[in-house]
Amino acid sequence: MTIPSRGHPRSTSSVANQSDNASTSNSSSRAARSTSGTKPSSGVKDFMAQQRAKIKAQQEQDKLKASKRPQKVPMPFKGAPSYSWDDTLDRGEAFGHTPPSTSKIETLIKQAKSSGKLNISNRNLNEIPDAVWNMYHVDPNAITIDLSGGSDAWSDLEELNRFIAADNQLNNISERIGEEFLALRHVDLHNNRLTSLPNTFGNLKNITYVNLSINGFEAIPDQLYSLEKLKELNLAGNKIQSFGPNIAKWTSLDTLNVNDNLLTRLPQEMESLVSLRRLLANGNKLSDLPKGMLSKFGNILEDLELANNSLQKLIINGKLNLKRIDLHHNKLQVLSFGDDASLENLYELLLSRNRLNHLDNVEVTAVNLSIIDISSNVFEDIPSSILQLQNLKRLDFSNNQLKSIPAGLGAMPNLQVISWEGNPLRSAPRNMSGSMEVLKSLRDSLKAGGDSVLETNTKLRNIQLDDSAADASSIMASKKLTPTADPQNVKNKTLDLTKQQLQELSAEMVESVDFAVAHVRLDQNLLSEFPSSLSHFSSTLVTLSLHRNKLTKFELSFQLPALKELNLSNNQIQTFTSTQDNLAPLLSNLNLSCNRLKEVPARLTEYLPGLTNLSVNTNKITTIDPDSFPGIRVLDLGNNDIAQVPPLLGKVTSIKELNLDGNCFRVPRRATLIAGTESIMEFLRNRIVE
């Protein structure tokens, strides 16, 4: 006789099988006793009688329940599109007609006993079921005779070390968490309604990861200060106003996320966090930092994010290991690097949407800077300290007060991308095809000995349009070509062929145009193939729109070196390919929405290396490959057939805006999607199984 493992209630069929086996065994035993003369003891007889009575009673209860169970009525789907879903779900559940089921929790518990990981996320739970707390307990009523050898052995049980109950409706957690699960190392309770933790939570001395983001905490729970092995703590999206003095106990903490709270200050005790590598405190009400706090971190802190606060002044001193500083959207008027400041590893400095008009000593302090964003400040000139950064690759100085672009940018050997829009330039480079062309003009100006460029049109490369060289009538060489008769189109270097019923765009048509075309509009025509004749404009074409045509595929065999925007929406495109690896190096915006793509085009960023905005909304995409999106900042995957969002998508750090609405996946939940891109990405990262 064996006793089954803790917390495994045995099914009726299993018990019935045991009964049959027992009956067979009893018959054999009786036959043996009749020949040997040996009789069973009265205790054994009584025990067997009790077991048979239990089995019979259980069978009667099962029959009664079955007779009362309502029959499932299939739900009609009137005009609903075809979707894909997890085949472990029933149809109604997949489309949200019934709340998420908790009927499989016993199965999850059984699996958790062997894996040590329990995930009961997204089940509309108001409380943790007792079955979870009792998972390692022996139920006296479940003691049965097991002659099959199929019972779980105690030696096979794994202590619970990972507990995830995110995306539920939990208001509190039972004290039993700190009594039953002392081996826990990872606890994820994000996106619930928690305002406090049980006292016993402090007993979980082995915990290294806690996620309590998107709850209702108004203060950091005292129990967390007892977790001295804690390495990563996420408290983003709560209502926390301050830290307690015991924060100094977190000497093992590697990552602290307190984004989107109500913090007005960071405590001086924070400098005791000797292992802290990432500090994320965006979206609070910080007006300053404790004096000398950053210098105390020395060679530890790598990532400092203090965006969307109220900082007015920041002075950085000492030798720091910082690799990334994000201070955008504050009220900074002064950012100063002291004489002893050294940030040799700093590669990204984000200062947009502040009130800065100067930036000193950065060329000495952070010689390896690769990215600087000083957009939306009040600079009247680009600081000379920036012009001396020999390793700078990207510089955004848009929306400032610059009157001209200094030729000194042309002397920066590694500079590849600049953004200048929104400045009151006396002669803006709007007719140039991108950063590389402007930088070349700057370098040419340097060779000519100029102090600044774009002061006169004679310093531009020969791409300016002489308004007198073309008029609307010059476009009309072919009767088949009838662009919108607006002289302003010519002045703006726009070829507008919208609503012309075109089935093709012949070489003769485009060759008849006698001005340098920068913008082509072929919207609402009947084109079934991408016009190869557009190669005639390949060196000057900046924007191209083929919205609402009849394209079934996109194939391109020539390069478009100046192209920045491509609109292929509302076609019937099923494939997107190119024979050129560097198809459009400057293309940043690609719109493929409302087509018939079943997947995001493979190798997309290889032939479009500058792509930052991608829309594939309203297609038939079923799966996502996170490796398809390096460098993408804005990604629209809405209204597709995506059944599962891979957690590794959360590791694509370039993504700043993500739309996943209108798909058929169940996770992330709607509440997470509404919370925004940062919450979605954090949710996905937390689901990655190391």
Contact criterion met (CB below 8 Å) for 687 and 187: no
Q: What pLDDT does 19 receive?
A: 43
Percent of the chain with pLDDT over 90: 39
What pLDDT sits at residue 404? 86
Question: Best-predicted range by mean pLDDT among 38-52, 444-458, 611-625?
Answer: 611-625
Banded pLDDT at 446 (limits 50, 70, 90): confident
Residue 512 above 90 pLDDT? Answer: no
Characterize the bridge pairing of strands 232-234 and 255-257.
parallel
Q: What is the pLDDT of residue 44?
A: 56
Residue 427 has pLDDT above 90, yes or no: no
Angle CA 490–492–495, to nearest 5: 55
Give yes or no for residue 649 having a pLDDT over 90: yes
Instruction: Give, to the nearest 10 degrees, the angle between helix 42-68 and helix 12-36.
Output: 150
Asked whether the domain spanning 467-686 has the same topology as the one spanning 104-139+156-285, the reply is: yes
Residue 192 scores a pLDDT above 60: yes
- Is residue 301 within 8 A of residue 320, CB to CB? The reply is yes
Q: What sign has the CA pseudo-torsion 501, 507, 513, 517?
A: positive
The structural domains of the chain, with segments of one domain joined by +, span 1-36+51-58, 104-139+156-285, 467-686
Q: What is the pLDDT of residue 260?
A: 94
Per DSSP, what are the bridge partners of residue 578? 556
- DSSP per-residue string spanning 353-368: SS------SHHHH-TT
Residue 488 pLDDT > 70: no
Identify the pLDDT of residue 45: 65
Least confident of 117-131, 167-181, 430-444: 430-444
Give tens-digit pLDDT for 543-560.
999 998 999 988 877 888
pLDDT, tens digit, for every residue of 577-619?
A: 876 667 788 889 999 988 999 998 877 877 788 899 999 988 9
Positive or negative torsion for Cα 660, 663, 665, 671? positive
* 345: CB partners within 8 A, 6+ apart: 302, 321, 322, 323, 368
- Range scoring the smallest mean pLDDT among 40-44, 322-326, 397-401: 40-44
* pLDDT of 637 over the 90 cut: yes
Between 4 and 287, residue with greater pLDDT: 287
Confidence of residue 475 (pLDDT cuts 50, 70, 90): very low
**Average pLDDT in the 499-516 region?**
85
pLDDT surpasses 90 at 312? yes
Phi-psi region of 136 (alpha: psi -120 to 50; beta: other; left: phi over 0): alpha
CATH classification code of 104-139+156-285 = 3.80.10.10
**Residue 165's pLDDT band (boundaries 50, 70, 90)?**
very high
Top-confidence range, 169-183, 447-461, 605-619? 169-183
CA angle 101, 106, 112 (to 5 degrees): 115
pLDDT of residue 264: 94
What's the confidence (pLDDT) of residue 280? 95
- pLDDT for 628 equals 86
198 contacts: CB under 8 Å, gap ≥ 6: 172, 173, 174, 175, 177, 178, 223
Q: 524-547, pLDDT tens digit by residue?
A: 899 998 898 888 888 889 899 999
Query: Is residue 345 predicted with pLDDT exceeding 80?
Result: yes
Q: Are strands 324-326 and 303-305 parallel, antiparallel or unpaired?
A: parallel
Residue of 348 and 66 predicted with greater confidence: 348
How high is the pLDDT of residue 152?
A: 52
Averaged pLDDT for residues 570-574: 91
Percent of the residues in the chain that have a pLDDT greater than 70, as a whole number: 76
Summarize pLDDT for 11-26 with one digit per residue, the tens.
334 434 444 444 444 4
Would you state the pLDDT for residue 36?
Answer: 41
In whole angstroms, what is the distance from residue 252 CA to residue 210 CA?
13
| Beta-sheet strands, E only, within 390-548 | 394-396, 405-406, 417-419, 452-453, 494-496, 519-521, 543-545
In this prediction, residue 66 has a pLDDT band, given cuts at 50, 70 and 90, of low
Which CATH architecture fits 467-686?
Alpha-Beta Horseshoe (3.80)
Q: How sure is the predictor about 65, in pLDDT bands with cuts at 50, 70 and 90?
A: low
Residue 646 has pLDDT above 80, yes or no: yes
| Mean pLDDT of all residues in 148-177 | 81
Determine the pLDDT at residue 688: 87
Bond preceding residue 668 cis, omega within 30 of 0: yes
Q: Are 351 and 377 in contact (CB under 8 A)?
A: yes
Residue 283 C-alpha from the chain's centroid: 18
Q: What is the pLDDT of residues 89-102, one digit of tens each?
A: 333 333 333 344 44
Cβ contacts of 122 within 8 Å, gap of 6 or more: 100, 166, 167, 168, 666, 667, 669
Predicted pLDDT at 545: 92
Model confidence band, residue 213 (pLDDT cutoffs 50, 70, 90): very high
Q: Report d(CA 44, CA 22) in Å as an integer.
A: 12
pLDDT at 184 over 90: yes
Q: Does 56 score more than 80 pLDDT?
A: no
β-pair type (303-305, 232-234)? unpaired
When pLDDT is cut at 50, 70 and 90, the band that residue 218 belongs to is very high
Handedness of CA 285, 291, 293, 295 (dihedral sign): positive
Residue with more model confidence, 10 or 157? 157
| Count of beta carbons in the 10 Å neighbourhood of residue 597 | 19
Q: Is the pLDDT of residue 394 over 50?
A: yes
- DSSP string spanning 589-645? EEE--SS--SSPPTTHHHH-TT--EEE--SS------GGG-TT-SEEE--SS-----
- For residue 511, pLDDT over 70 is answered with yes
Q: How far apart are CA 626 and CA 655, in angstroms?
A: 11
Q: Which of 67-81, 146-160, 447-461, 486-500 has the highest mean pLDDT?
A: 486-500
Question: Where does the pLDDT of residue 105 fall: very low under 50, low under 70, confident under 90, or very high at 90 and above?
Answer: confident
Residue-level pLDDT at 89: 39
Contacts of 194 (CB under 8 A, 6+ apart): 170, 171, 172, 173, 212, 215, 216, 217
Rg of the chain in Å (alpha carbons): 34
Q: With contact defined as beta carbons under 8 Å apart, do 418 and 443 qualify? A: no
How far is the C-alpha of 293 from the C-alpha of 270, rounded, in Å? 8
**Nearest in space to 50 (alpha carbons), one of 61, 58, 62:** 58
Chain mean pLDDT for the chain: 79
How confident is the model over 251-287, as pLDDT tens digits?
A: 999 999 999 999 999 998 888 899 999 999 999 999 9
CA distances 688 to 33, 651, 652, Å, are: 61, 9, 13
